């Protein structure tokens, strides 16, 4: 059974710092991996999607990498801002596309 | 714009009543929709997979008679929480999958049972 783990569970950084969020999964047979952002009381916002054949994706200050063989993904946030404060979730879609399994998330707090 | 519309965003209901949550795919026909539940400080947990024109597939531990799912059209799936109790208070969110296996989420529905 696929399990997704995110480390750390919580992270506090001062504004301007670069940071890395980690995601690991136990079954490398995935279709894709997505990073989401969840603000308190809100739904999910998709940040980056990496197909299983890809190694990384970039969007603005965000860069996500995928090492499928080792079951790891990282989300790199450059020059963090207070507006980046949120919970970041990673999720893997199985190869059949029938189940999206989430990690518990990393709650990020960026102070000004 | 939104690809998936979920309604209502917030709902408060009395214990013992039923609540229906709608999930609409706005940009494409969705043969499959997913329903998730999230308790405070927990991860999103898949409840069931909704298939158009057939019975939903429920995850282990999810009561199918309590959480009724109807996927009557290619653009609409509904989740009905029957005889709701305070422990059903949670964040419920639906998602759809396009032909490229990209997942899109609704805005989510916060249910409070009093």
Which of B84, B103, B83 is closest to B93 using CA atoms? B103
Output the pLDDT for position A41. Answer: 66
Contact A88, A35 (CB under 8 A): yes
The residue whose two tokens read 């999720």 is A91
Q: What b-and-e string marks burial along A40-79, b requiring 16 or more CB atoms within 10 Å of the CB?
A: eeebbebbbbbbbeeeebeeeebbbbbebeebbbbbebee
- Cβ distance of B101 and A97 shorter than 8 Å: yes
Output the pLDDT for position A28. Answer: 92
Task: Enumerate residue ranges in chain A where pLDDT < 50.
Answer: none
**Which residues of chain B approach chain A closer than 8 Å at the C-beta?**
6, 32, 34, 36, 42-46, 49, 93, 95, 97, 101-108, 110
**Which residues of chain A approach chain B closer than 8 Å at the C-beta?**
4, 31-32, 34, 36, 41-44, 46, 49, 89, 91, 93, 97-105
- Cβ distance of B32 and A34 shorter than 8 Å: no
Question: From B92, which residue of chain A is nearest by alpha-carbon distance?
Answer: A43
Burial tier of B7 (Cβ tally within 10 Å: 0-12, 13-18, 19+)? middle
CA B22, B28, B33, B36 torsion-angle sign: negative
Which of A85, A105, A96 is closest to A34 using CA atoms? A105
Output the pLDDT for position B105. Answer: 86
CA distance A51 to B112: 37
Contact A5, A24 (CB under 8 A): yes
Q: Is B83 left (phi over 0), alpha (psi -120 to 50) or beta?
A: left
- What is the separation of C-alpha A100 from the centre of its chain, rounded to a whole number of angstroms? 13
Question: Quick one: tokens of A109?
Answer: 């707090």
- Mean pLDDT of each 10-residue bin along chain B, 114 residues long: 86 96 91 87 83 88 94 91 95 86 84 94
Q: How far is A87 from chain B (nearest CA, A)?
A: 10
Question: Quick one: tokens of A50?
Answer: 């990496």
Output the pLDDT for position B20. Answer: 97
- Cβ distance of B95 and A100 shorter than 8 Å: yes
Output the pLDDT for position B1. Answer: 64
Q: How far is A45 from chain B (nearest CA, A)?
A: 8
CA distance B102 to B32: 12
């Amino acid at each position: 059974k696929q399990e997704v783990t995110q480390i750390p569970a919580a992270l506090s950084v001062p504004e301007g710092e670069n940071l890395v969020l980690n995601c690991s999964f136990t079954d490398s047979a995935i279709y894709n991996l997505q990073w989401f952002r969840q603000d308190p009381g809100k739904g999910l916002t998709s940040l980056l999607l990496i197909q299983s054949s890809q190694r990384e994706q970039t969007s603005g200050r965000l860069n996500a990498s995928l090492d499928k063989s080792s079951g790891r993904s990282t989300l790199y946030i450059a020059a963090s801002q207070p507006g980046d404060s949120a919970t970041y979730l990673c999720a893997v879609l199985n190869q059949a596309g029938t189940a999206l399994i989430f990690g518990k998330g990393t709650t990020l707090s960026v102070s000004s | 714009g939104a690809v998936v519309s979920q309604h209502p965003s917030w709902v408060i209901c009395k214990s013992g009543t039923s609540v229906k949550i709608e999930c609409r795919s706005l940009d494409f026909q969705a043969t499959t929709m997913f329903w998730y539940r999230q308790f405070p400080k927990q991860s999103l947990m898949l409840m069931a997979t909704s298939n158009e024109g057939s019975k939903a597939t429920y995850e282990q531990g999810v009561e199918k008679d309590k959480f009724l799912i109807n996927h009557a059209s290619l653009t609409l799936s509904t989740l009905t929480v029957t005889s709701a109790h305070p422990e059903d208070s949670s964040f419920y969110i639906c998602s759809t999958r396009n032909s490229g296996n990209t997942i899109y989420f609704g805005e989510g529905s916060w249910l409070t049972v009093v």
